[in-house]
Amino acid sequence: MQINFFSIGFNTVTLTAIILALGILIDDTIVILENIERHFFELKKSPMQAAVDGMKEVMLVVLGGTIATSAVIFSMMFVGGYPEKVFRLLASALLIAISVSYFVSVTLIPILSIKSVSYTHLTLPTIYSV
């Protein structure tokens, strides 16, 4: 059974592209979360203000990394010959996935970090008392 999405087949090559894009998403997320935590813990801002300010500081850096990665991957689509057939699927799926991962990292991650950072000051009950 062939599944098509944006006229790209769902096969091993496209799954490889999605796995690579997940690595890029995790990298972007770590950069954003570290900056949000820095604003919250070191600069003593509220969770909402830390998310907004932390995201503003690194948004262009993450965008620059996404554009640079996309430019390198885009050039893989025009290698020529048999490798072009393989790399065209990989590169097109990866370009779509990288675009989605950038959107997720600059929109969803700061929203989720507001809740997670605000719960870090709560003390958890200990299992064993000393």
Report the amino acid identity of residue 41.
Answer: F
pLDDT of residue 119: 66
Find the largest Cα–Cα distance for the chain: 69
Could you tell me the residue ranges of all domains in the chain? 10-114
Question: Tens digits of per-residue pLDDT, 53-76?
Answer: 999 999 999 999 999 999 999 988
Note the CATH number of domain 10-114. Answer: 1.20.1640.10
Q: Are 54 and 32 in contact (CB under 8 A)?
A: yes
Distances (CA, A) of 45 to 37, 39, 41, 122: 10, 6, 7, 16
pTM: 0.77
Q: Which of 81, 99, 78 is nearest to 18 (CA)?
A: 99
